[in-house]
Structure 1
Amino acid sequence: MSSTDTKRGILLMILTMFIFAVQDGLSRYLAGEYNVLMVVMIRYWFFAAFVLTVSAKRAGSIALVARTRQPVLQAFRGVLLALEICVMVAAFTLLGLIESMAVFISYPLIVAALSGPILGEKVGLYRWAAIGVGFVGVMIILQPSGGVFSPYALIAVTAALLFALYTLLTRYAARKDTAETSFFWTGIAGAVAISLVGIWFWEPMAPRDWLWMLGLCITGASGHYLLIKTYEIAEASAVQPFAYLHLVFVAVIGLLVFNEDLRINVVIGAGLVIAAGIFTLWRARRATA
């Protein structure tokens, strides 16, 4: 792979993380004004339409791309991601963007820790050490023994656990299904599941907020599209460390738009989590080299 492809991949990853941060800011605003389930449901409708369009273009047939030997697993993955998004958006409104994302970025370490028992992968001593350092960082962020600890932080922890499980199940599903098939089931199963629940929480939305909702839908779809393109032109191990810029962009939005505070324990803890995550990626890359 040429260095040009890698550079383009890095630039695309940075742009993707910025778009996802804007999406998170829009989610925080809309979920603060309306029911979380309704906001996520409308977002999923747009996402499902995007998935159908991309699937038809890539595979030439919706029936072909939807074919799977593990429909229960694929459907469960889709429902799990929809649940994770609801939990994370709720964390944004209750805990704030910065601290929610600072906790959430620990999910790659959870994936590394659970890859052994779930996927049968070998986790060496160095990776276990990195996982331990990362979880120390999470504890510093949470400050469970301090007077400033918020029980809402546990919502962000739950979101990280759910997304880690979704990631592991996606890797497991990839043993039998293509990425296109998994992508299809992610969007469609999630849209069906959230619609069955969210439709009961429908409430009128101000005309101005429909524009923000449109922005949320566009950033969600475009972010996923750019992420796909990123992994098409560059190796995942080369661009993945730049995914941590998501936290940086979210922090800027939280500070400037929502007047959130950036506490020193969050900075220190997030720094440890990011360092541990990058080290884990580096060890994984060496192991497959």
Structure 2
Amino acid sequence: MSLWILVTLAAAAMQTVRFMLQKQLKGAGLSTGGATFARFIFAAPLAALVASLALAVSGEAFPPLTARFWTFALVGGVGQIVATLATVALFSLRNFAVGIAFTKTETVQVAAFSALILGEAVSLWGWSAIGVGFAGVLLLSRASEGGLRFDPKATALGLLAGGFFGISAIGYRGATLELMPLGFFLRAVLTLACVTASQTVMMAVWLRLRQPGEAGRVVRTWRKTALVGLTGMLGSLGWFTAFSLQNAALVRAVGQVEIVFTLVASALVFRERLHLREAAGIALVVTSLLMIVLALG
């Protein structure tokens, strides 16, 4: 099995753990912004340390960081912040498994972004997969109490999260390519260090302006929040490494195995019951993702 596939599977598993921890932080009294900030403030120094060690071991000099690199990195970083905020907010509306399933429209959106931004064409088979995935989203967007009424807030948050996760994937892929000809791991960890540092600054400023005191609450509860940062850094390192080895659309398509991990977490950790309609929606989304894997393969 290819290295990038193994790394992607590990990243998907770690991301599931991180979302589980963030959901618990939201339930413990931190705001959506605070739970999101915890993801970055503790990850940034860890990423910087790993990057420094990787440079020292490799003997490589610190590469020039061009304007094009920073454009990709910052677009990816902002996209991830918005997507994470939307995902954490979504947890308050729907159960854990369905909340994550909404964000899986990301793969469909990455395929579209790849065609528009990176010039990667999507085949007819791939667009058929998009249709199957959209049908799944329609099922998932039904209001939780049943009937034909849609839940517009949950739908909007899920699509927003998926779209901005897609934008972040394209940005990170572009940033790692800008550091060529460094080895794939160095490109991944250096990009991660730059991105997490900028995300920490942006989130700190945003919380200062919008939710004074929330950043302090995150730091004071470091015994709980630091673990979010650690798992977030490890998951992101996996994604960035995969992006440095393979195109973003294919990485994200394979990474949709995360939904399987999520279903296990939903049942075993949060004791949440999945309704038949929601299970059918998730099944359609997963089917569309498998179709995309075949199309890209």
The yes-or-no answer on 1:244 pairing with 2:260 is no
1:183-198 alignment to 2 at 5 Å? 183-198=192-207
TM-aligned CA deviation for residue 257 of structure 1? 3.1
**Is the Cα–Cα contact under 8 Å of residues 38 and 202 in structure 1 kept in the other structure?**
no
Letter in 1 for 2:164: L
TM-score (norm. length: structure 2): 0.79
Distance 1:174 1:233 in 2: 9
- Greater Cα offset, 213-222 or 224-233: 224-233
Who is 2:158 aligned against?
Answer: 156
Distance 2:94 2:168 in 1: 23
TM-aligned CA deviation for residue 102 of structure 1? 1.0
Distance 2:247 2:71 in 1: 30
Distance 1:37 1:63 in 2: 36
Distance 2:158 2:245 in 1: 32
Who is 1:23 aligned against?
Answer: 18
TM-aligned CA deviation for residue 75 of structure 1? 2.1
TM-aligned CA deviation for residue 63 of structure 1? 8.8
**Is the Cα–Cα contact under 8 Å of residues 59 and 65 in structure 1 kept in the other structure?**
no
Aligned match for 2:34, one of 32, 38, 47: 38
Letter in 1 for 2:224: W
TM-score (norm. length: structure 1): 0.81
Distance 1:151 1:235 in 2: 32
Distance 1:119 1:240 in 2: 15
Who is 1:125 aligned against?
Answer: 124
**Is the Cα–Cα contact under 8 Å of residues 5 and 251 in structure 2 kept in the other structure?**
yes
Aligned length: 280
- Greater Cα offset, 219-228 or 95-104: 219-228
- Superposed CA deviations along residues 104-157 of structure 1, whole A, max 9, x for unmatched, are 112111111232222222222121111111111111221377236362232121
The yes-or-no answer on 1:219 pairing with 2:234 is no
The yes-or-no answer on 1:81 pairing with 2:80 is yes
Q: For the structure 1 residues 164 and 225, does the alpha-carbon distance in structure 2 shift closer, same or farther, using more than 3 Å as the test?
A: closer
Distance 2:75 2:239 in 1: 22
**Is the Cα–Cα contact under 8 Å of residues 218 and 225 in structure 2 kept in the other structure?**
no
SS at match of 2:274: coil
SS at match of 1:283: helix
TM-aligned CA deviation for residue 262 of structure 1? 0.7
- Structure 2: give runs of 5+ residues left out of the alignment: 181-186
Distance 1:239 1:162 in 2: 16
**Is the Cα–Cα contact under 8 Å of residues 173 and 243 in structure 2 kept in the other structure?**
no
1:66-77 alignment to 2 at 5 Å? 67-70=65-68, 71-77=70-76
Distance 1:161 1:81 in 2: 10
- Superposed CA deviations along residues 76-113 of structure 1, whole A, max 9, x for unmatched, are 32222122212211112332311111111121111112
RMSD: 3.4
TM-aligned CA deviation for residue 196 of structure 1? 0.6
The yes-or-no answer on 1:141 pairing with 2:152 is no
Q: For the structure 1 residues 122 and 16, does the alpha-carbon distance in structure 2 shift closer, same or farther, using more than 3 Å as the test?
A: closer
Could you list the runs of 4 or more consecutive aligned residues of structure 1 that deviate by over 6 angstroms after TM superposition? Answer: 229-240
